[in-house]
């Protein structure tokens, strides 16, 4: 599995793809520099492969680099930040 990641700014969406096929998404709303992460999803046939975790890491690292703070409305993202306290500084 070779995942690639794309930030679709206009759609407020991050996408993970494997061989050109979308296998994971993270959606967010943006208000100034505050990103509310609303949804994390993976292809049902690919669950358990760590795709959501890898994608969430990419998302949070990208948001940090942009100087954004995060509201983890999505339960997956909230749990991920709880389990990875190195991202707690991003919380709005």
**Taking the complete model, does pTM exceed 0.85, yes or no?**
yes
Rounded CA-CA distance 91/60 in Å is: 10
Q: Could you give all domains of the chain from N- to C-terminal order, each with its CATH number?
A: 3-86 (3.40.630.30)
pLDDT in tens, 21-51: 999 999 999 999 999 999 999 999 999 999 9
- Give the list of residues 6+ apart from residue 32 with CB closer than 8 angstroms, or none: none
Residue 68 buriedness (CB in 10 A; 0-12 / 13-18 / 19+): middle
pLDDT score of 1 more than 80: no
Which pLDDT value is given to residue 43?
97
- Which residue do the tokens 């959606």 mark? 27
């Amino acid at each position: 599995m070779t995942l690639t990641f794309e930030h679709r700014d206009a759609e407020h969406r991050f996408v993970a793809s494997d061989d050109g096929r979308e296998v994971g998404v993270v959606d967010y709303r943006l208000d100034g520099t505050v990103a509310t992460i609303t949804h994390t999803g993976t292809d049902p046939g690919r669950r358990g492969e760590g795709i959501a975790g890898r994608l969430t890491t990419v998302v949070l690292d990208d948001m940090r680099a942009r100087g954004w703070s995060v509201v983890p409305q999505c339960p997956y993202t909230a749990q991920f930040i709880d389990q990875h306290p190195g991202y707690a500084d991003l919380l709005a």
